[in-house]
Structure 1
Amino acid sequence: DAAAIGPAARQLLKLIATSPLWTPGVVARATSYDLRVRCFAGTEVVELSGEALAAPVGEQVRALYAGLFGGPALYALAERFAGAVARLDVLRVLTQHMLAAADVDASLYILLSGLTSGDGLGFNRAAVFLYDEIRARYVGARAIGPADAKEAHRIWEAIEIEGRTLEDLIADATRRHNQSGLQSRVYGMALGASDGDEIAQAQASRVPLRLEGPPRNPGLAALCGGEPYVLAVVQPREKPLGLIFADNLYSGQAIDDEVMGSLATFLDQTSLVLDNLTLLRHVERLARYDSLTGVLNRREFDARMAIEEMRCLRAGHPCSMLIVDLDNFKAVNDREGHAAGDAVLRATGELLTQTLRAHDLVGRFGGDEFIVLLPETPRHELAKVARRIGKLAWEREISLSIGGAAFPADCEVPSALFSIADRNLLTAKAAGRHRACLGNDEEIVGLVD
């Protein structure tokens, strides 16, 4: 009866309409008054109606495939189907690993592993750019792939000899052994959209784009010269989160519809993962960093200081501390307003972060004071560091006073560094603007020549 036939017919039509395995030449049509489904593949035609449409969907599909495809074509279709299922299973595993990743960086590497591994989508190169809301640019964060054809050949030979699996690549994400020639080119690269260019097209599209020809966008033009490539904007909840670039520059392999379909599915799955990880990173940053200056807040600095103290005592390594105070900061606020004062604080935080080493700790102690911990820095290097900070600050028209101390030269335990450096800061300020006072001997150092 019609009540039984209708749902089956609708289900069959849905299956036909959404299946990625149908070629463009296959069409499905139905007439509402007698519920007939007629399918075309080239010159072959199969019509299902009446009791055939009331049968279970599995039986309908078998009849449809048997009628439309001969033996070789059916085998080819089955092979394509098996490949699609295998790729989707790999992408499912990758998504699970991304969910378990400890941070955004590891998650991005796992995503790129899925795009470039032979078990995944098999692209030669892939890169991800994260969206910077302040700059309104996509900034290069992670990339996998060779920098040139010579490196590509060397990588492929190594993979074949070592027999590296997808699990090996994922394990590299936790060990951070994942640098590549492309990474050095992509990291920090800023890509912006302009009217009608490729990035603007990707932003307007809900699916990944397959593009060819020299890019109009100058940033993309630096990555590829006209060979086919894929561009996709990851934007869960209509919010731009990142930009994905991938191509087969060195193998020249075509980017077919099945790969594009699998890529769309993978990015749909991973977009929410990346959104959650990005939100988590933002929340963690608010808890650990000073929102105005971008350096560590006092609580986080104290926690890391305690860890560094134990490491110094255990290994017997030296460490030093500087307390940095802005000269006449109250006068800046009174004369130019708090917005100007905030700008000076931000500039000082940026200066300290950019000047010091990656493993040095920089925190805002309160008000206009910053605190710096310099692991493995002995007493005789402290004056050089203070002068470098003072010189760069002076070039930015910022005047500083600095107090410093070193372990073990000035104290028996690192926890005593603060009291000595704080006392020396008062001495430096009393001696005049833009000076440093360092160590128990209260050495006065001018910060500019």
Structure 2
Amino acid sequence: MSEPEVSGIPEALVAAARAVDVPHDLRTLFERLAVPLALEVEAPAEGAPTLALQLLRLASHGSSLRLTGARTGAASPKVRLVHGSKDLVLGTAELAEGIPALARRIAQTLLDIGEVAGAIERFARESPRQDALRQLTRAMLETGSIDRLRTILLFGLTSGLALGFSRAALFVYDEDGRALVGESAIGPADVGEAARAEGLAALGLEQRMAAVAAFEPRFENFVRTIAVDVTTDPRDEIGEALGASGPLLFSRDRPVNPALAALEPPREFLVAAIRLRDKPIGIVVADDPYGPAPIDPDCREFVGFLLDTAALASENLRLVESVETLARHDALTGLFNRREFESRMADEQSRAQRLGSQCALLLFDVDRLRQVNESRGHKAGDELLQSVGVLLRSTLRSHDIVARLAGDAFAVLVTDTNHEQVLAIVRRVGALALGMGVSLSAGGSLWPRDNHEQSVLFSEAEAALIEAKRGGRGRAVIDGADEPMVFAAPGDDDSPA
């Protein structure tokens, strides 16, 4: 038998340890024990037990384990854990029993009564938090709504897990990225609401969210009136949190930051930045003005993980939203594309039929776009199409539906309308376009009228558009009108409708 290596960690064990994953349960075991243990590993160069390698890797990444020796050359593996004058030796059979058996042996062999009691207390406190963290993480990653994501985050912070928080407020950067503004909040606005909320702590996430939703959102409404500025004071809590790598706990009679002071927190409160790719995207403030329990310092790890998950879920939602936007919109003009327009038109026709109202489909073509492309280039043609898109969107009402169908063709669905209103809209669009130097042809039809088939609306509007273009362009033909409408620029005499 060869002599075992004793200087440093043998390369064979280093390579084997790097190839294994350390389970969350094993990592949590030594984190929550909070008792320093020395580790010695002796194992064959190949085929070392997985648990021995996991302990070796865990010790090399910083934990309550401290590696004091690692050897190869032994015929059978052996792991020795040392605490003070006590030691625990694990052979092949013991290493095969798994993590629960390891935890039991450590408690029985290495720890005194006080250390066991402390470990049990930490596990009792952390176990519900870990279960809640898994539930909250799953809920945040599965939600399809930014608003719901924020609600889940705030409920997680006030979830009754002995974190010490009954209120949580979220501040996010505005569109310019310059100011932090109050976005949402959860928590009681007074002692009475705090007493009502206390009885909800035992409920599950969904039940508690539903119950609190029935409360008057006075605290949230107040938070939404607050804009946060960072002062030049180096003790400014918001400034400190934006520069820190994790959540910060403060103990002060009054916050330095005026916006935080407006919340009137108790002496102890937490401030944490939400980061995405190391860039802060918001701030969370959490406290409990109505309870005597202090904030648990260990809550910072829980809060940090929760905020990281919220940031990741937020990025995923924005990516999905971006993809969906691209799928529903025309890339050049930003208007709806044909597929989205037809879907919304079908919904609006069903609504009009149900409510007994009318809608109108208007089709617009840009006259002589080809000549613009040939004489001034396609960039000029694209800019022309974009200007028509802006004209349509700014002229129509916010609930009317505007789309670019293809090429030089645009469509508008005017909702809750009548024949006179449609004629006025078409005349205004045609006149404003001429004022920009753009000639349009238009065709339109209202629904329901004499026909009751939804599919007829598009064919009638197309037929009217063709008639307008054949009549000389720069005009509109609307089903039901006595004669074509010839567009006139603003200030000119209107042609008869």
Q: Which category of TM-score, normalised to the shorter sequence, fits these structures? A: 0.5 to 0.7
- Kindly indicate whether the alpha-carbon contact (under 8 Å) linking 1:125 and 1:145 is maintained by their aligned counterparts in 2: yes
1:246 to 285, 294, 312: 285
Please give the alpha-carbon distance, in whole angstroms, between the structure 2 residues aligned to 1:285 and 1:437.
Answer: 33
Please give the alpha-carbon distance, in whole angstroms, between the structure 2 residues aligned to 1:321 and 1:126.
Answer: 46
Displacement after TM superposition at 1:89 (Å): 1.5
Structure 2: 5+ residue stretches without partners:
36-62, 71-79, 95-101, 492-497
> Which residue identity lines up with residue 18 of structure 1 in the other structure?
E
- Kindly indicate whether the alpha-carbon contact (under 8 Å) linking 1:322 and 1:404 is maintained by their aligned counterparts in 2: yes
> Which residue identity lines up with residue 285 of structure 2 in the other structure?
A
- Kindly indicate whether the alpha-carbon contact (under 8 Å) linking 2:361 and 2:446 is maintained by their aligned counterparts in 1: yes
Q: Hey, what does 2:49 align to over in structure 1?
A: none
Please, what TM-score do these two structures have when normalized by structure 2? 0.59
Q: Hey, what does 1:286 align to over in structure 2?
A: 326
Please give the alpha-carbon distance, in whole angstroms, between the structure 2 residues aligned to 1:328 and 1:139.
Answer: 49
Q: Hey, what does 2:143 align to over in structure 1?
A: 101
Displacement after TM superposition at 1:95 (Å): 2.5
1:18 to 22, 31, 48: 31
> Which residue identity lines up with residue 135 of structure 2 in the other structure?
V
Structure 1 residues 343-358: aligned runs within 5 Å? 343=383, 345-346=385-386, 349=389
Q: Hey, what does 1:125 align to over in structure 2?
A: 168
Q: Secondary structure at the match of 1:257?
A: coil
- Kindly indicate whether the alpha-carbon contact (under 8 Å) linking 2:335 and 2:402 is maintained by their aligned counterparts in 1: yes
- Kindly indicate whether the alpha-carbon contact (under 8 Å) linking 1:319 and 1:407 is maintained by their aligned counterparts in 2: yes
Q: Hey, what does 1:144 align to over in structure 2?
A: 185
Q: Hey, what does 2:68 align to over in structure 1?
A: 32
2:274 to 218, 225, 233: 233
> Which residue identity lines up with residue 138 of structure 2 in the other structure?
Q
Please give the alpha-carbon distance, in whole angstroms, between the structure 1 residues aligned to 2:242 and 2:307.
Answer: 14
Q: Hey, what does 1:44 align to over in structure 2?
A: none
Cα distance 1:29–1:345, how it changes in 2: closer, same or farther (>3 A)? same
Displacement after TM superposition at 1:297 (Å): 1.2
1:364 to 404, 407, 426: 404
Cα distance 1:399–1:119, how it changes in 2: closer, same or farther (>3 A)? farther
Q: Hey, what does 1:313 align to over in structure 2?
A: 353
Please give the alpha-carbon distance, in whole angstroms, between the structure 1 residues aligned to 2:453 and 2:433.
Answer: 31
Asked if 1:89 corresponds to 2:131, the answer is: yes
Structure 1: 5+ residue stretches without partners:
39-46
Cα distance 1:166–1:355, how it changes in 2: closer, same or farther (>3 A)? farther
Displacement after TM superposition at 1:169 (Å): 4.9
Q: Which has the higher contact order (CA 8 A, sep 6+)?
A: 1
Cα distance 1:161–1:87, how it changes in 2: closer, same or farther (>3 A)? closer
> Which residue identity lines up with residue 114 of structure 1 in the other structure?
G
Moved more, 203-212 or 320-329: 203-212
Cα distance 1:366–1:207, how it changes in 2: closer, same or farther (>3 A)? same
- Kindly indicate whether the alpha-carbon contact (under 8 Å) linking 2:249 and 2:270 is maintained by their aligned counterparts in 1: yes
Please give the alpha-carbon distance, in whole angstroms, between the structure 1 residues aligned to 2:279 and 2:205.
Answer: 29
Structure 1 residues 255-334: aligned runs within 5 Å? 256-325=296-365
Please give the alpha-carbon distance, in whole angstroms, between the structure 1 residues aligned to 2:419 and 2:162.
Answer: 53
2:246 to 199, 207, 219: 207
- Kindly indicate whether the alpha-carbon contact (under 8 Å) linking 1:355 and 1:389 is maintained by their aligned counterparts in 2: yes
> Which residue identity lines up with residue 327 of structure 2 in the other structure?
A
Please give the alpha-carbon distance, in whole angstroms, between the structure 2 residues aligned to 1:53 and 1:347.
Answer: 77
RMSD: 5.8
Please give the alpha-carbon distance, in whole angstroms, between the structure 1 residues aligned to 2:434 and 2:151.
Answer: 41
Q: Secondary structure at the match of 1:293?
A: coil
Paired residues in the alignment total: 414
Please give the alpha-carbon distance, in whole angstroms, between the structure 2 residues aligned to 1:340 and 1:185.
Answer: 50
Q: Deviations over 1:299-331 (max 9, x none)?
A: 222233233334433453322223345567667
Q: Secondary structure at the match of 2:325?
A: helix
Please give the alpha-carbon distance, in whole angstroms, between the structure 1 residues aligned to 2:221 and 2:397.
Answer: 19
- Kindly indicate whether the alpha-carbon contact (under 8 Å) linking 1:52 and 1:60 is maintained by their aligned counterparts in 2: no
Cα distance 1:60–1:129, how it changes in 2: closer, same or farther (>3 A)? same
Displacement after TM superposition at 1:262 (Å): 0.9
Please, what TM-score do these two structures have when normalized by structure 1? 0.64
> Which residue identity lines up with residue 168 of structure 2 in the other structure?
R
Please give the alpha-carbon distance, in whole angstroms, between the structure 1 residues aligned to 2:425 and 2:243.
Answer: 49
- Kindly indicate whether the alpha-carbon contact (under 8 Å) linking 2:401 and 2:412 is maintained by their aligned counterparts in 1: yes
Q: Secondary structure at the match of 2:298?
A: helix
> Which residue identity lines up with residue 32 of structure 1 in the other structure?
T
Moved more, 102-111 or 164-173: 164-173
Q: Deviations over 1:53-111 (max 9, x none)?
A: 889443334666635559xxx47x75554333223312322223334434454444333
Displacement after TM superposition at 1:298 (Å): 0.8
Cα distance 1:265–1:385, how it changes in 2: closer, same or farther (>3 A)? same
Please give the alpha-carbon distance, in whole angstroms, between the structure 2 residues aligned to 1:215 and 1:17.
Answer: 38
Q: Secondary structure at the match of 2:352?
A: helix
Q: Deviations over 1:211-258 (max 9, x none)?
A: 795559xxx8899799955333343xx486954533338659865423
Q: Hey, what does 2:205 align to over in structure 1?
A: 166
- Kindly indicate whether the alpha-carbon contact (under 8 Å) linking 1:113 and 1:144 is maintained by their aligned counterparts in 2: no
Cα distance 1:359–1:193, how it changes in 2: closer, same or farther (>3 A)? farther
Cα distance 1:246–1:334, how it changes in 2: closer, same or farther (>3 A)? farther
Displacement after TM superposition at 1:265 (Å): 2.4
Cα distance 1:250–1:375, how it changes in 2: closer, same or farther (>3 A)? farther
Cα distance 1:15–1:351, how it changes in 2: closer, same or farther (>3 A)? same
Please give the alpha-carbon distance, in whole angstroms, between the structure 1 residues aligned to 2:306 and 2:193.
Answer: 25
Asked if 1:58 corresponds to 2:104, the answer is: yes
Structure 1 residues 172-211: aligned runs within 5 Å? 206-209=245-248
Q: Deviations over 1:319-351 (max 9, x none)?
A: 222334556766765677545554554565466
Q: Hey, what does 1:405 align to over in structure 2?
A: 445
Q: Secondary structure at the match of 1:303?
A: helix
Q: Secondary structure at the match of 1:82?
A: helix
Q: Hey, what does 2:155 align to over in structure 1?
A: 113
Same amino acid, percent of matched pairs = 30
